Amino acid sequence: MTPWIRKLHKWVGLIIGLQFVIWTASGLLMSVLDSASVDNRHHLAPPTQVSAWPQSAMSPATVVARESRPVRSIETHWLAQTPVYRLSDGKSSWLADIQHGSPVPVTSADVTSIAVRDYAGDGRAGIPELMSENTWEVRGHTGPIWRVAFSDDDGTTLYVSGQDGQILERRNDTWRVFDFAMMLHFMDYTRQQDFNNPIIIAAGAGGLWLALSGIWLFFASFRLGEFIPPRWRRRQELRVFGADGSNLRSVDARAGDTVFLALGRNGLQLPSNCGGGQSCGLCVVRVRGHAPPPTSSDRMHIDASRLRSGYRLACSLPVTSSAQVEVAGGAALWTERVATVVSVTPVTPFLREFVLAPEVPLGPEFQPGAYLQVHVPGYCLQRSDLDHPEHHRPDWSNLNLPESLVCKEPVRRSYSLSLPTDKAGGNVTLLARFSPGRQDRKRQPAGKGSSYLYALKPGDRVCFSGPFGDFAIKPGGREKVFIGGGAGMAPLRAMVHALLEAGATERIHFWYGARNLREAPYIDEMEALARTHRNFSWHLVLSEAAEHGSGLITGLVHEATHERLLQTHPDLTSCEFYLCGPPAMLAATRTLLENLGIAEEHISFDDFKI
């Protein structure tokens, strides 16, 4: 449950965080605006001397007696310079003549006189306008309303009641700014100034959930031992074995450390793209003996059968006592290899092949499906350092990249072998996709690993560790179905080449998805292999409508594979499936195979962990 809470916490935090910024900004704006200007008091004329009430006026009782509608109140009133009675029935008001009790209308001339007498400023009153409907500047008022605009720099506007000639509101530009800020602050976008509106209630509930989930994540992410200085914790022995059972070494650990942290302190750097943040799932180890219950991160990244076998993420596996773990990669964990860049080949606008010549010959452990961890040093590159051929310039010109690409600290990034090393003359062949980061105004930086690789030139030196991973061709002659997309071409291509070079006779299908022909790598190579080897078939699936043409398969790669192969296959239980590609494609394909009833042990996949 914790990963889902963490994901929801992130997105709810973004939404509520933006609203907190709006609350703070709008509150600050309202506090700095001058209250006298907001209320238009600086343009309010001082009260004038009221004339004496005429002695000849009809008595109030007589006026009320002559009215045909009920009267709840009556009071003396002045309409401009004219004495009148103001009557009200509780819902509306009207004026009556003091001599005859007849109704007195509020005329345009009266409104002009009232507005001019109320206003003190340099502006001139415009022609009064009887409004056909009320606007948000006079919300809360009913009945006919006159609007009088003044020609000053403040945009002063007076609103006069058409029933009794009273000044209803005094508005200006400062008030309008204040009112807009108040709308944002109250989150009442109907401008009714309702502090109990549903949106602000939802925001408050979201803020409460954010606080509670943050407390949950705090206790779920931190252990008490992390708050105790290392020298006060008990020492524990952590014995490390290879996947083949060989005893690699023993390291000292402190109670409360994770296995990932303990190994890293002793120079055994497990594969990781997230630095031990429980999000990439690369640092898988197998616990010898009794394994602790899997965490939510374990369940997210490791399938059920491997969990039952004791596999756990090293970054979420605490050291509570002396323990034994098995790690994949063996001595490669602390071995750093150096290679020289032989060639850099742009395969598509954003897929590039790198051939590296290692200084020390590679061993048999460098098998198709394995991946390396390239050691990316700190760097500061200019955008011009990312060279690309002329026919790819239109694609790159559309990227909103910064002028400088910076990696402040060394990191490691994982890349799969895209060709068997024996077929590459003992060299390492990698296929890397350039990650431009987010391209909107809140841009995330470009990928640190891909930026480093795309700036390499022949003759440059590269450090790497590995190989790692358990994505490999299974022994036996079962029919094989490869499904991939994007940079997932790399390990699948290496596997296909290895099978065909070894003389495999089983049926081999390769389904690959791309957006368009321009982004599909190695098309000619795969078509040549299909012509040469009768047991191999190559199928390119394109998703962009603009690329749909005669002979092209369109749609999403997993859907096309299902429609054209899987749903008509006579015996899917005799097939093995190898998957690699972007996370969404991989998740959709795994769900498809699960729904088709394919056994877990017949599905192998390489998750890019991004």
CA–CA separation, 179 vs 187, rounded Å? 12
| Domain covering 479-607, topology | Rossmann fold (3.40.50)
pLDDT at res. 545? 60
pLDDT at res. 610? 44
pLDDT at res. 167? 93
Q: What percent of the chain has pLDDT over 70?
A: 90
CA–CA separation, 445 vs 411, rounded Å? 15
CA–CA separation, 466 vs 371, rounded Å? 7
Q: Does residue 275 register a pLDDT over 60?
A: yes
Q: Where are the domains of the chain?
A: 2-37+178-221, 41-47+56-171, 230-329, 336-468, 479-607
Contacts 24+ apart (CB under 8 A), 115-119: 115/148, 115/150, 115/158, 115/160, 115/167, 117/45, 117/48, 117/80, 118/44, 118/45, 118/158, 118/167, 118/170, 119/43, 119/44, 119/45, 119/150, 119/156, 119/158
| Bigger pLDDT: 383 vs 87 | 87
pLDDT at res. 84? 93
| Bigger pLDDT: 572 vs 277 | 572
- Average pLDDT (454-468) is 90
For the chain, the average pLDDT equals 85
pLDDT at res. 559? 92
DSSP 444: P
Helices (H) then strands (E): counts for the chain: 15, 26
Terminal CA-CA length for the chain: 20
CA–CA separation, 355 vs 423, rounded Å? 12
CA–CA separation, 486 vs 493, rounded Å? 12
- How many CB atoms are located within 10 Å of the residue 507 CB? 16
In the chain, the amino acid numbered 136 is W
Sheet of 337-348, strands arranged across: 411-416, 371-376, 461-468, 337-348, 351-358, 428-433
pLDDT at res. 330? 65
CA–CA separation, 98 vs 77, rounded Å? 10
Q: Classify domain 336-468 at the CATH class level.
A: mainly beta
Say which range, 67-76, 141-150, 387-396, 559-568, has the weakest mean pLDDT.
387-396
Q: Does residue 272 register a pLDDT over 80?
A: no
CATH of domain 230-329: 3.10.20.30
Give CA separation, 41 vs 27, 141, 182, 323, 435, in Å: 22, 21, 19, 78, 58
The per-residue b/e assignment along 397-415, b for 16 or more CB within 10 angstroms, e otherwise, is eeeebeeebebeeebbbbb
HSE toward the beta carbon, residue 32, CA cutoff 13 A: 8
HSE toward the beta carbon, residue 562, CA cutoff 13 A: 15
- Per residue in 194-220, pLDDT (tens digit) is 667 788 788 888 888 878 877 776 666
| pTM score, whole prediction | 0.58
